[in-house]
Amino acid sequence: MTSHQAPFDSREYWIARHEQFAGSHQATGLLGSSRRANRILYELRQQALLASLNAVSLTGARVLDAGCGLGDFSRLYSERGARVYGCDVSPLAVEHCRKHGRGAFECGRIVDLPRLFPGVQFDIVHCFDVLYHLPDDREWEESLRTLDAVSAPPAVWFITEIVRPRPGASHIRARLRAAYARELARYQRRIVQERRLHWLLSVQPVLHSRFPGLSVRLEPLCKIQPFAAMARVALWRIGRSPADQGEESPCD
In a domain, 23, yes or no: no
- How many structural domains comprise the chain? 1
**pLDDT surpassing 90 at residue 55:** no
Mean pLDDT computed over every residue of the chain = 91
Instruction: Answer whether residue 250 is part of any domain.
Output: no
pLDDT score recorded for residue 8 = 76
Measure the CA–CA gap between 151 and 204, rounded to whole angstroms: 38
- The CA R_g of the chain, rounded to the nearest whole Å, is 18
Question: Taking a C-beta distance cutoff of 8 angstroms, is the pair 30, 200 a contact?
Answer: no
In a domain, 245, yes or no: no
Q: Which of 184, 113, 183 is nearest to 150 (CA)?
A: 113
pLDDT in tens, 56-73: 889 999 999 999 999 999
Residues 106-137 pLDDT 10s: 999 999 999 999 999 999 999 999 999 999 99
pLDDT in tens, 195-227: 999 999 999 989 999 999 999 999 999 999 999
Within a domain: 202 = yes
Q: Report if residue 248 sits inside a domain.
A: no
Q: What is the pLDDT of residue 57?
A: 84
Q: What is the CATH number of the domain that holds 179?
A: 3.40.50.150
Q: Is residue 244 part of a domain?
A: no
Domain span at 42? 32-165+173-239
Residue 168: the pLDDT is: 67
Residue 85 lies in a domain: yes
On whether residue 24 sits in a domain, the answer given is: no
